[in-house]
Structure 1
């Protein structure tokens, strides 16, 4: 897996720091995006490869990354990766993973105690894992001074009061118990629904489908706009064909509706689109094209 250093851009009064844990060929292209046809990948090979697609193996390339936003005098961390030493028997990529996420944050100039707000765009294993760290045989919040903003619908859906389908999957139980419940016990969890104003530059907005509480984070500062879309998009192919959901979407139809709504606004308002798992530039401006959209310009991240 190719490791990368922290990278940053500035949007209005907000510094955006990209922290990449890894980037690699992750899954068969049409396994990750089941309804995408082989032709859409092949036709766009010139720009999908090598950052988003590995043609020889026909595997989608994804990045595992988080975003640090310095906004209004506070440090906001958007999604927290996989975490170390987690029981994830249903997810081979994440099971007992060992990484240097906190070291990468430190090299980007962010200590755990510096983080004021943690945003979990949704409650999946690769977005909440570093919410906590091991302590005395259990788990405690990794960011002791932070509020953790967690979508209420996901907290209910994956928590002990509800079932995942006919019953929670084993990995869902582990994720909640090691990465969400300890934050509640520490009194640092803030549940929200609908919309939630983070500060003068940042607003959370519900965008269900990938999970019941899946959300996006909008940035508006000066004339600059961006939207951090979490897992509404796993591959740029979904920009071209917004109806195509990933294999991980719990409600693919609802996810498609949310995706198109977010893409329409991004194209109309010139928002920089910032998905959780895009490799390469990691973020992109888009325009309308036919029944879908098309990339216009990838973000020019500079190395820190």
Structure 2
């Protein structure tokens, strides 16, 4: 069966709701995006590919509702469809605000935007017509993340980062730094997960005995559970990223009280990390009949 981008869906973590809000999808060459991947690895994960042999990656955001707080985690790719020659593919998006409306919310209802990191596919709805899309929201990012992208200038990595004019300039003084361990809302705390970018952070959501972890780009696809050496071509520090991924996946493995959430997965954005006979595997909540 051909891979499909993850749909809008909601899970409950105790009395906290987490919804995945689709923005679009990317169809790319697995070999270009993950240079260390082998033919054997991808053959073992054919469920990740479309009928044309392209790797499918979802694009989207997460909405957290805790008490009267409404938090958006990452802002998708934005309202556009563009070719992505570096990965022999295409990014197609533009549905985030529609997904938000389907949750009964408007942009002005969001009180916090949290960027796990500031790659181009996580900041796309930051601004429209030079004005912040979520004008009432406090915008947050991990330590050093904004400064890193501001410092790149003409470095090749800048091509996959935030648009200085369309993202960084509208943010201006509106983005605040948060550190490892910071609590940004009841039941929602920061965990530093650097490597993919210097200030990359994930979120832990907890209520009662239940817990979820919104991974950002610690993990992009289940093939990285099979082989932790398979890193995205655009990692800022690939070795640190591998160490972070191994640490976080080890913490999640077999933890039946913790759901993992990742915006690029296909089929479902929510799942658990399990241990098979010889390797870690990803099991989506939809396949378990949970969500």
Residue 141 of structure 1, aligned match among 91, 109, 132? 132
Question: Aligned pair 1:288/2:275, yes or no?
Answer: yes
Q: Do the aligned residues in 1 keep the contact of 2:81 with 2:90 (CA within 8 Å)?
A: no
Shift of the alpha carbon at 1:246? 1.1
Matches within 5 A, 1:175-194: 175-185=163-173, 188-194=174-180
Give the 3-state SS of the residue equivalent to 1:216 in structure 2.
Answer: strand
Aligned residues: 284
Name the residue aligned to 1:70: 65
> 1:210: Cα distance to partner?
0.7
TM-score (ref. length: structure 2): 0.86
Secondary structure of the 1:277 match is coil
Report the equivalent of 1:23: 25
CA contact (8 A) 1:4 1:22 kept: no
> 1:267: which partner in 2?
253
Displacement, 1:236?
0.8
* Residue ranges of structure 1 left out of the alignment (5+ in a row): none
C-alpha RMSD of matched pairs (Å): 2.8
Q: 2:152 matched to which residue of 1?
A: 163
Give the aligned partner of residue 39 of structure 2: 38
2:254 and 2:188 mapped to 1: Cα distance?
19
Change in Cα spacing, 1:298 to 1:87, as seen in structure 2 (3 Å) is closer
Partner-residue secondary structure (3-state), 1:129:
coil
Point out where structure 2 has 5 or more consecutive residues left out of the alignment: none
Runs of 4+ in 1 over 6 A off after TM superposition: 1-4, 85-92
Could you give the per-residue CA deviations for residues 58-117 of structure 1, whole angstroms, max 9, x where no partner exists? 3211111111110132001011012236999987846xx772422221122121111011
1:111 has 2:106 as partner: yes
Distance 1:4 1:235, change over 3 A: closer
**Matching residue within 6, 13, 16 for 1:14:** 16
TM-score computed with the length of structure 1 as normaliser: 0.83
Q: CA deviation at 1:221?
A: 1.2
Separation in 2, partners of 1:86, 1:37: 29
Change beyond 3 A, Cα 1:53–1:30: same
Residue 122 of structure 2 aligns to a residue in which SS? helix
The 2-side partners of 1:173 and 1:245 are apart by: 17
Q: Work out the CA distance in 1 between the residues paired with 2:84 and 2:273.
A: 37
2:223 is aligned to 237
Q: CA shift at 1:263, angstroms?
A: 0.5
Which residue of 212, 225, 242 corresponds with 1:256?
Answer: 242
